Amino acid sequence: MMHRVIIYGAGSYGKLAYHYYRSKSIIIGFIDQNEELWGSKVEGITVFGPKDIDKICFDTIVVIAVKHGIDNVQRLLYEQYGIDTTVVFGVTESVSTFIPNETQHTTPQVIIKYSGGVGNQLFQYAFSRCFGDKLVTAWLNDYKGINKRRFVLKDFFPNVEIGDCDEYTRKEYLMGHKKYYSEHELTPDAKCSKALFDIEEGLFEGFWQDYRYPEKCKSLLREELIFKDQKEERIIKLANSVSDHNAVSIHFRRTDYLNEKYFNSLGGICSEEYYERAVSYIKGRVEDPVFYIFSDDTEYAKKMAVHIGGTVIDKFMFEHYEDWYDLYLMSLCSHNIIANSSFSWWGAWLNNNPRKIVIAPKRWHKYKDFSEICPPSWIRM
């Protein structure tokens, strides 16, 4: 499958990038800050200004092809357009010492490319554990540079052990010498097959948001995904309070889903009507439910708390708030009402109540098939 590519930079480096990518990608256009180039053509491809990024960068890879100021371009793309992942094209010259093939041996390994936030990292980790006793390492390049997201699983799951793949192996994949597997190119029948997990070597890229992966290695994940000991008094008291009641978590995901980059695919799915129906369903089946509300939009959460009734978990409640607190508290609730978000999905999955009720939106994405995202026992509305 050919990727759609936008090349940032219409100068000499941009032209080199065009000739490099044209045979294996669909080049949508160039982006350049030089107003004199806007509307013109370079190598037969239209040059746009940065203001056009929102219109043309949907479902595309942005390739930065400039000689200087790469950090400034990355910062511009992130701060103004929400683009946090790019490909940097460059021309390098280096001295290399030839090493005979017999000395260039590395142990076959399955490499999982990690990207995204906590929920995505957990799905990728669950996928990695499906390979059993094979050597599995991590490709963590997406968390280097100015990207504000970090690889965080080991920060609060002390039983998680993930080794980074070695530099030589990484170069082998970058040069196209080893097998690459993309989730999007796998057929539905192949996605959770024995043949897939019999593979002993390859780089795997995808979000792997499918309940069958965690279920395949459920016992192992239950042992490894244990939160670290809590030290802050407020989180300990809240955890005890949640555990002592018929607690129900409600998750509203708002901030990023409301911007143009994500709204057309993920925003607006979990409407107020969805939450009202979910709360009504819980009240009809759970005695004296106590609702705890989690959100990245505290003001909206407070408004909904007045309507629904419940306690908003606000980061300012804690002396030293950490991102995983919300996930931890969700997992302690007896029941969960989740958004179309991998974050609250994992809050519900980590809930160990054997009689838990989990309510999830029937539709997860506006145009992609996520029919296997939730276990069959979860209620879809």
Predicted confidence (pLDDT) per residue in 204-247, tens digit: 999 999 999 999 999 999 999 999 988 788 899 999 989 888 99
Do 41 and 75 lie in one domain? The reply is: yes
pLDDT in tens, 276-318: 999 999 999 999 999 999 999 999 999 999 988 899 999 888 8
Report the CATH number at residue 313. Answer: 3.40.50.11350
In 296-376, beta strands by DSSP E? 311-312, 335-337, 358-360
Residue 93 in domain: no
Domain boundary among 224, 245, 280: 224
- pLDDT at res. 103: 45
The CATH number of residue 51's host domain is 3.40.50.720
Both tokens of 171, joined, read 């170069």
pLDDT the model gives residue 102: 47
Least confident of 90-94, 269-273, 280-284: 90-94
- Helix %, strand %, coil % for the chain, to 5? 35, 15, 45
Going by the DSSP 8-state scheme, the letter that residue 354 receives in this structure is T
Same domain, residue pair 315 and 182: no
Task: Find the domain containing 21 and state its range.
Answer: 3-88
Number of domains in the chain: 3
Domain C-terminal end among 88, 111, 141: 88
Classify residue 175 as exposed, middle or buried by CB count within 10 Å of its CB (0-12, 13-18, 19+).
exposed
Which is more confidently placed, 213 or 105? 213
Dihedral (CA of 80, 260, 118, 4) sign: negative
Q: Give the span between the Cα atoms of 100 and 174, in whole angstroms.
A: 20
pLDDT for 145: 56
Pairing verdict, β 202-205 and 110-113: parallel
> 284 with 352, same domain?
yes
| Residue 71 resides in a domain | yes
Q: Residue 174: name the closest of 89, 239, 102, 242 by CA.
A: 89
Nearest CA to 295 out of 241, 348, 255 is that of 255
Average pLDDT for the chain: 89
Residues 47 and 80 in one domain: yes
Whether 38 and 143 map to the same domain: the answer is no
Identify whether residues 241 and 339 lie together within a single domain: yes
Residue 54 domain-assigned?
yes
Per-residue pLDDT at 53: 85
Tell whether 97 is covered by a domain. no
208 and 82, same structural domain?
no
Percentage of the chain exceeding pLDDT 90: 57
Both 206 and 245 in a single domain?
no
Q: What is the DSSP letter of 247?
A: E
Least confident interval from 88-92, 154-158, 298-302, 339-343: 88-92
CB 179, CB 202: distance < 8 Å: yes
pLDDT tens by residue, 109-163: 999 999 889 999 999 999 999 999 898 999 887 666 555 578 889 999 999 988 8
Asked if residue 94 belongs to a domain, the reply is: no
Q: What is the torsion angle, in degrees rounded to the nearest 10, for the CA atoms of residue 173, residue 174, residue 177 and residue 179?
A: 40
Domain match, 240 and 219 both: no
Q: Considering the domain boundaries, does residue 60 fall inside one?
A: yes
Assess if residue 95 is contained within a domain.
no
Residue labelled with tokens 């948001």: 209
Distance from the first to the final alpha carbon of the chain: 34
Task: Enumerate the β-bridge partners of residue 4.
Answer: 26
Same domain membership, residue 209 and residue 253: no
Q: Is residue 217 part of a domain?
A: yes
- Of the two residues 235 and 167, the one the predictor is more confident about is 235
| Same-domain check for residues 149 and 276 | no
**Alpha carbon of 109 to those of 78, 96, 184, 221, 269: distances in Å?**
33, 25, 21, 21, 39
Average pLDDT over residues 349-366: 96
Nearest to 250 by CA among 278, 273, 223: 278
Query: Which of 205, 224, 243 represents a domain boundary (last residue)?
Result: 224
pLDDT for res 144: 63
Residues 239 and 315 placed together within one structural domain of the fold: yes
